Structure 1
Amino acid sequence: MLGVSHATSGAALGLAVAGLAPQAVGMSATAGEILAFAGVAAGAALLPDLDHPSSTATRRFSWASWLAAHGVRPLSALVFRLTRGPRDSGRGTHRGLTHTLAGALLLGGGVAVASARWGTPVTAGVLFVCLALAIKGLDGLVPGPPSLVIAAGLTWACETLLPGGTAGTAGWLGLAVGLGMLVHSLGDAVTESGAPLLWPVPIRGRHWYPVGTPRPLRFRAGGRVEALVVAPLLTAATLALAVYVVPGALDALVDLRDRLSALARRPDRPAGAVGRW
């Protein structure tokens, strides 16, 4: 799928999990915690495409992401060669290890362990990277200032406003990353090529079997169905979830509507009038 579809699917899942899961166990989350979780999930939903040379994840951080991509692709190819089944074909460099449930669990678990062990340096770094990817993925909808600048500001805001700062995110950061990666692969599973979600489980003589929906329900990545149906639905779902689960979001929208209505009803100011507007 396109970057914007992956980012909105990650944001929607992040909002649902961070907003609804605490309620199910009698707890509550702040607006900042929910939005930070959703932002990380949205950015992590672009990470699996580090195995593609022209993806947003590969190009976003200049030489740093280039180096990461050139580490991921050979690793994915190596694991493919070592574990391929008798009917597997290809090289495993794209839609390989990073597009599996196991890959999502490994990276999510690694982030959780590292953030718990080393605290702020890891959590702030992961937050910055994921937020920058999320903003870059979403700027196809709302172009804005450089995503790296916004991501730096949001990371600082997390450090100063969230309970415990960025170190306080250690308890959920790995989960957000893992969920973002998983929803990326699920999204690719409904496209024509599918995704090897269940690796290394052998299916029909293949350990890298491209799991997917029934053929009539699949669509071409970047095609008309995604552009006209899938991406708008994911965007609408993200916005609806944000209004529903983020504390104060609905009140803020109502207040904004009232202000705009009052502004629209305000008569034109007489010529030559003085005083404050």
Structure 2
Amino acid sequence: MLGISHALSGAAVGLAVAGFGSHLIAVPATAGSVLTFAAVCAGAALLPDLDHPSSTATRRFSWASVVASRVVRPFSALLYRLTRDSRDTGRGTHRGITHTALFAVLIGVLINLGSARWGAPVVLGTLFVCLALAIKGLDALVPGPPSLVIAAGLTYAADQWVPGGTAGTAGWLGAAVALGMLVHALGDAVTESGVPLLWPLPIRRRRWYPIGSPRALRFRAGGPVETVVVGPLLTVATLALAVLVVPGVLPFALAMRDHVERLLTSG
């Protein structure tokens, strides 16, 4: 899938999980916690493509992300060679270890431990990186200043101005990272190529078995199905969820609607 679709799907799932999930576990959600979770989920939905040399994740942070990609790709290839089964084919560089559920969970646990131990630096750093990735993925929808500048401003705003801020996310923000990475893998699974989501479980004598949707339902990344159907649906879903689940947004939207109606009536 394209970066814009990954970012939108991550944002939509993040909003749904943070917004509706808080009711299931009876923990009050704030606008800050919901938006932080959704933003991190949206950016993390581009992270698995760090194993591709020309992806948004690889090119976003100059030499730092390029170096990270050059570490991830050979590591994934080595792991592939060490664990492949008799029917596995390929090299394991792209859509390898970074597209597995185990890797997503591991990264999420590390973020959880780090944010629980060091608090704000890890939380704000994670939010900034993920916002920069998400905004870059949404470049087609968000023109204007460089995404790193926007990401820095939004990180500050989320921490200082949004009700609830980011403080309450320490210790569990890694769940948003893991979820975003899983959303990415599932998004790739419905395109023409599957992903080894269940590695290292052996499936049909393959440990890197490409999980995917039924072939009749798969579509080409960047093709007309994604750009004409999937992209617009994800955009509408994300906006609708933001209104429904972010505390304070629905009353504000209703108040604005009433204000506009009064203006039209008086005119």
- Tell me, yes or no, whether TM beats 0.5: yes
Deviations 1:74-123 (A, max 9, x none): 11111111111111111111000000001101111111112222222222
In the other structure, the counterpart of 2:210 is 210
Matched ranges for 1:236-251 at <5 A: 236-251=236-251
Task: Tell me how far 1:164 sits from its aligned partner.
Answer: 8.2
In the other structure, the counterpart of 2:106 is 106
Task: Tell me how far 1:262 sits from its aligned partner.
Answer: 5.3
Residue 154 (1) aligns with residue 168 (2): no
Deviations 1:25-69 (A, max 9, x none): 222201121011100000000000001111111111111111111
Amino acid at match of 1:135: I
What are the ranges of 5 or more consecutive residues in structure 1 without an aligned counterpart?
A: 268-277
Does the 8 A contact of 2:32 with 2:165 survive in 1?
no
Does the 8 A contact of 1:33 with 1:162 survive in 2?
no
Does the 8 A contact of 2:31 with 2:163 survive in 1?
no
In the other structure, the counterpart of 1:273 is none
What are the ranges of 5 or more consecutive residues in structure 2 without an aligned counterpart?
A: none
Task: Tell me how far 1:249 sits from its aligned partner.
Answer: 1.4
In structure 2, relative to structure 1, the CA distance for the partners of 1:155 and 1:16 (3 Å cut) is same
Q: TM-score, normalised by structure 1?
A: 0.90
Number of residues of Structure 1 aligned to a counterpart in Structure 2:
267
Q: TM-score, normalised by structure 2?
A: 0.94
In the other structure, the counterpart of 1:175 is 175
In structure 2, relative to structure 1, the CA distance for the partners of 1:163 and 1:110 (3 Å cut) is farther
In the other structure, the counterpart of 1:275 is none
Q: Which protein shows a greater Rg?
A: 1
Matched ranges for 1:12-31 at <5 A: 12-31=12-31
In the other structure, the counterpart of 1:221 is 221
Task: Tell me how far 1:191 sits from its aligned partner.
Answer: 0.6
Task: Tell me how far 1:258 sits from its aligned partner.
Answer: 4.0
In the other structure, the counterpart of 1:48 is 48
Deviations 1:252-271 (A, max 9, x none): 2233334445556676xxxx
Matched ranges for 1:258-269 at <5 A: 258-261=258-261
Q: CA RMSD in A?
A: 1.8
Secondary structure in structure 2 of the residue aligned to 1:225: helix
Tell which deviates more after alignment, 240-249 or 98-107: 240-249
Distance 1:181 1:172 in 2: 15
Amino acid at match of 2:108: G
Deviations 1:154-193 (A, max 9, x none): 2222332468865542222100000000000011111110
